A and B are shown apart, each in its own frame.
Chain A
Amino acid sequence: MAILSEVAETISLDGGRKSRGNLTKARIRWVIVALVLVFGTVGGRLIQLGATVTDSTIEGVARDVITASRPPILDRNGLEMAVDIRVPSLFAEPRRIVDVEEAVQKLRTVLPDLNEDWLRNRLTGDKGFVWVKRELTPAIQERIYQLGIPGLEFVTESKRFYPSGKEASHILGAVNIDNQGTMGIEKHMDDDSLAVLQSIGIARDTDLTPVSLSVDLRVQHVMYEQLQDALVRYKAVAAAGVMMDVKTGEIVALASLPDFDPNNPSTLFQDYNGVKNDRFNRITSGIYELGSTFKTVTLAGALDSGKVRITDEFDARFAVRFGRFTIDDFHGKHRVLSVPEVFKYSSNIGTIKIMQELGKDEFRDFLTKIGMDRTVPFELPEMRKPKVPDKFSEIVAATSSFGHGLSVSPLHMVRAVAAFVNDGYMVPPTMYKRDEAEARQLYEPVISPSTSAEIRYLLRLNAIGAGGSGSRMNKIANGYRVGGKTGTAEKVVNGRYASNVNFNVFASAFPLDKPRYAMVIIVDEPKAENEQTGVTAGWNAGEVTGRIVQRVAPMLGIAPDFGEMLDQNLVPVELR
């Protein structure tokens, strides 16, 4: 240790203090320099980390998108129809997994439904991130944590939850696992603006303003329940209904059976009684020959043109012939019928005559005027273009007048009926809340108010008059001044109309003294309920309508009124 004495030897006692002082002071200075460098490095590293832009994508999808929130969806009264809940999702970092086999076996004790080979494959390799199972429950999360497998972790995701289950499935639609809307109003919201919000990161972990729909969940519930009842009662293959506020265009209820569970969107693709892809929205994306309900359209067009007056009479004694085709009435009277009688007895012959009075091209123009040949502008993305021939031949015009040879959606029909009873003002339907003043901006006059009054009379007449096809409905919903028109279309089976397989429609509106709601109910292939009953629309679609109105009218603030005066006031002056 020569160096240790080296210093000591060179100093005298007096100068020693000074030199020792200078030496140690200089050394401390060196230490200060070194430590400043060390802390500088630490600071520099911090700044470097602060400037690092983290790769926040998960399997190519931005983390923000995965954890993206969606606004709650409320019904018109503020009841929750769709909400976000936070759920843990399990992912793995395969390169951190020490023992893949152990991880697979342990994991399967908690998640036995995972395929063993798939899981082993998934966890093997050098990847930094793979999903294992998404949207689990906190209880499962806890159990997986307890397994203590390295390389397995959770990320919190938003999961969409629909408290009302299947009840409003076709309205709400569904979201995919990344919380993006795939159908229904959820998809519309995304296409509209939410996608933009999410992409700029606003819709993340924040409370978004709830979206209010036009739907009244109480009415929706009743309609859903009655349609389900109809499926059982009439052994029908499908049933659907839509109800619209005639003043505002708001859709108050919309249901279509068979349906799916939005909480489990894959149910949409399940076969229904052996039929594939049968769970679609029949109101918007189903197009049908709506049968005799179309007579309302024909009469509205003819009466509004002034070429046909409500007091006119038409000869319905003989069937109409077009070449080799003959069109006759179902249970026909075969006599001269007044216009209201044509409507009430649903005379095909009378309707053809009325349409011919109007003129086939004028009739075609009227269909364009009320938007029957275009897709209804509507929020739900599941829409199908109607099939209406661009130009009517004599025979097509004739069949079209009573609803055959052209296919439109029930939504087309409800919009038309709403316009016919609403003093002739057509308003575009909407799924969102809309007030009357706002709706008035969108009003489009399609028939005159006086024609509208005549249609109201005809619709009501069909419900109260003896032999009217709506009388069965009216018995159930007595007092609520419902009027409507049935439609019993024979379905095409193997290329020809089959007389025993029907597609039934009931288009209605209530209360007709002060119209507020229009409704279309369809029942596909109903069977007779019992031996005393029939299979035409009045027996099923009509009765369903009656049962719905009977239950929802009081909720909607419509008091029953059995006074005859109300009905008499509906009668046009000419007929009094």
Chain B
Amino acid sequence: MFSRERKTPIAEWWWTIDKSLLAALILLLLVGVLLSFAASPPVAERLGLGPWHFIIRQAIFAALALPVMIATSFLPRRPARLLALAVLVGSTILLWLTLVLGVEVKGATRWVSIAGNTVQPSEFVKPAYAVIGAWLFAESMKRPGVPARSIAFLLMLVIVAGLLLQPDIGQTALVLATWGALLFLSGISWVVIFGLGATAVGLLFAAYAFFPHFAKRIDTFLNPEGGGNTYQVDKALGSLLEGGWFGRGPGESMANKIIPDAHADYVFSAAAGEFGILFCLCLVALIGFIVIKALIGAQQQQSLFARLAASTLAIQFGLQCSINLAVNLSLMPPKGMTLPFVSYGGTSMLAIAFGMGLMLALTRKKPEERLASGLPVYRSGVLSPAE
């Protein structure tokens, strides 16, 4: 099946995919299932569900996410772009629909119910926007006449407006960061970068001024003893400290039984209590490997679109991970950000699988780079340049 003799799609996929990246992603998915054993039973019991509730669902979602990721990674560039476009259009519409039809959970309207399942459209918007945004930026770099950047900017505004109305500061920040990453990668001058950086700071202050729950979190972070609600953070840190280097062993941690969101945002801390800080360091290394490997893979792409899209997806993934880790380690004020593939959440897992699938698809080594002639293949005219 994987023979090089006949050029079957599977063989081609197998010889061009970044196998270490794929393996690392699958490993992360499995770690997520493993950690759900540690983190989720106390939460499930608190919610009056069976202890296996979240574990079973996490396993099912992981089982669904894997084929989604692999199937997406099969896509050549053009179909990948088309799919991303379809997903972007669909999820943006759903995103705005949530404001009308959505279900309110914990003070925010982020979910819509489709055929009995609640879906969080904002999760799918992120990777789709990264790909389409990359395409638009690539087009504008190649053909300056086309107002592609402006389109990307407008698209971002549409999405961000919808997210802010939910409100969902975390996802807003990620989409903004995605746009910022595209600007940066597409070669914006450093002057503007610092200008935009200043704007970002300004936006943070604006958020502080206009969103009370955001302001409260910042206050509490800056002054933990000030009487604010630092319950989650305290418990998360408690779990980390309790575990020490080697952890207390599976099922032995006491602290993770009282972390409120142990299965979602705070899964990392909960894991630390049971498996120890060394394990957590390995997990961070795994995530870091995925991000760096994907970025290197993106760098080697000849196609500008693929390079931009793959690196943007990697940056998005890396940012989400680092924000979650920073919150877990009290390096940052709490922010509703899940740890990709590890935290519980069906939509988010499938969306990340979709995004990672696209990333894998776009970091595949193209056959032209495999020729040993030394000449770029597109010069020979055998293959049309992908750009």
Of B188, B281, B318, which one neighbours A47 at CB under 8 angstroms? B281
Verify B245–A95 contact, CB threshold 8 A.
Answer: no
| With known contacts A17-B387, A24-B185, A54-B241, A35–B304 Cβ distance under 8 A | no
* Segment from A26-34, A531-539, A568-576 that makes contact with B: A26-34
- Which residue in chain A gives the minimum CB-CB distance to B240? A49
B271-295: which have CB < 8 Å to A? 277-278, 280-281, 284-285, 287-288, 291-292, 295
Verify B284–A43 contact, CB threshold 8 A.
Answer: yes
Any A CB within 8 A of the CB of B16: no
Of A5, A41, A54, A96, which one neighbours B331 at CB under 8 angstroms? A41
Chain A contacts for B1, CB-based, 8 A: none
Verify A24–B280 contact, CB threshold 8 A.
Answer: no
| With known contacts A41-B331, A42-B284, A45-B329, A31–B181 Cβ distance under 8 A | yes
Ordered by A's residue number, 19 sampled pairs between the chains whose C-beta atoms are within 8 Å are: A1-B149, A20-B304, A21-B307, A24-B307, A24-B308, A35-B288, A35-B291, A39-B285, A39-B322, A41-B326, A41-B331, A42-B284, A42-B325, A42-B331, A43-B281, A43-B284, A47-B281, A50-B277, A150-B229
Verify B296–A8 contact, CB threshold 8 A.
Answer: no
Any B CB within 8 A of the CB of A4: yes
- Which residue in chain B gives the minimum CB-CB distance to A27? B185
Chain B contacts for A156, CB-based, 8 A: 254
CA distance A39 to B191 in the complex (A): 26
Of A3, A6, A23, A42, which one neighbours B322 at CB under 8 angstroms? A42
Verify B298–A28 contact, CB threshold 8 A.
Answer: yes
Any A CB within 8 A of the CB of B189: yes
Any A CB within 8 A of the CB of B91: no
Any B CB within 8 A of the CB of A46: yes
Of A24, A41, A50, which one neighbours B244 at CB under 8 angstroms? A50
Any B CB within 8 A of the CB of A9: yes
Q: Specify the main secondary structure of chain A where it touches its partner.
A: helix
A41-77: which have CB < 8 Å to B? 41-43, 45-47, 49-50, 52, 54
CA distance A49 to B142 in the complex (A): 49
Any A CB within 8 A of the CB of B187: yes
Counting contact residues on chain B (CB < 8 A from A), the size range is 35 or more
Any B CB within 8 A of the CB of A165: no
Counting contact residues on chain A (CB < 8 A from B), the size range is 35 or more
A94-111: which have CB < 8 Å to B? 95-96, 98
CA distance A560 to B285 in the complex (A): 80
CA distance A35 to B320 in the complex (A): 12
CA distance A29 to B296 in the complex (A): 8
Interface contacts (Cβ under 8 Å), in number, total 116
Chain A contacts for B326, CB-based, 8 A: 41-42
Any B CB within 8 A of the CB of A201: no
Chain A contacts for B302, CB-based, 8 A: 21
Verify B277–A46 contact, CB threshold 8 A.
Answer: yes
Any B CB within 8 A of the CB of A36: yes
Verify A38–B244 contact, CB threshold 8 A.
Answer: no
Verify B329–A46 contact, CB threshold 8 A.
Answer: yes
- Which residue in chain A gives the minimum CB-CB distance to B46? A145
Residues of B within 8 A of A (CB): 140-142, 144, 149-150, 181, 184-189, 191-192, 225, 227, 229, 231, 237, 240-242, 244-245, 254, 258, 277-278, 280-281, 284-285, 287-288, 291-292, 295-296, 298-299, 302, 304, 307-308, 311, 315, 318, 322, 325-326, 329, 331, 387
Verify B144–A39 contact, CB threshold 8 A.
Answer: no
CA distance A267 to B285 in the complex (A): 60
**Least Cβ distance of A125 to chain B in Å?**
12
CA distance A17 to B303 in the complex (A): 9
CA distance A375 to B74 in the complex (A): 90
Q: Specify the main secondary structure of chain B where it touches its partner.
A: helix
Chain A contacts for B184, CB-based, 8 A: 27, 30-31
| With known contacts A4-B149, A35-B288, A45-B331, A28–B185 Cβ distance under 8 A | yes
CA distance A43 to B329 in the complex (A): 10
Verify B149–A150 contact, CB threshold 8 A.
Answer: no
Verify A8–B284 contact, CB threshold 8 A.
Answer: no
**Least Cβ distance of A482 to chain B in Å?**
57
Verify B292–A32 contact, CB threshold 8 A.
Answer: yes
Any B CB within 8 A of the CB of A7: yes
Verify A46–B322 contact, CB threshold 8 A.
Answer: no
Any B CB within 8 A of the CB of A475: no
- Which residue in chain A gives the minimum CB-CB distance to B323? A38
Verify B284–A39 contact, CB threshold 8 A.
Answer: yes
Chain B contacts for A5, CB-based, 8 A: 144
**Least Cβ distance of A18 to chain B in Å?**
11
| With known contacts A23-B187, A39-B287, A46-B280, A31–B142 Cβ distance under 8 A | no
**Least Cβ distance of B94 to chain A in Å?**
30
- Which residue in chain A gives the minimum CB-CB distance to B246? A50
Chain A contacts for B295, CB-based, 8 A: 28, 31-32, 35
Any B CB within 8 A of the CB of A16: yes
Question: Per-position contact with B for A205-216: 1 when CB-CB < 8 Å, else 0?
Answer: 000000000000
CA distance A468 to B133 in the complex (A): 114
Chain B contacts for A20, CB-based, 8 A: 141-142, 187, 304
- Which residue in chain B gives the minimum CB-CB distance to A126? B225
Chain B contacts for A1, CB-based, 8 A: 149-150
Any B CB within 8 A of the CB of A551: no
**Least Cβ distance of B258 to chain A in Å?**
8
Most buried by B among A29, A35, A36, A47: A35
Verify B387–A8 contact, CB threshold 8 A.
Answer: no
Any B CB within 8 A of the CB of A25: yes
The 10 lowest CB-CB distance pairs between A and B, nearest first, are A8-B144, A50-B277, A39-B288, A23-B187, A45-B329, A38-B322, A42-B325, A27-B185, A28-B299, A54-B241
Verify B241–A49 contact, CB threshold 8 A.
Answer: yes
Verify B280–A25 contact, CB threshold 8 A.
Answer: no
- Which residue in chain B gives the minimum CB-CB distance to A128? B225
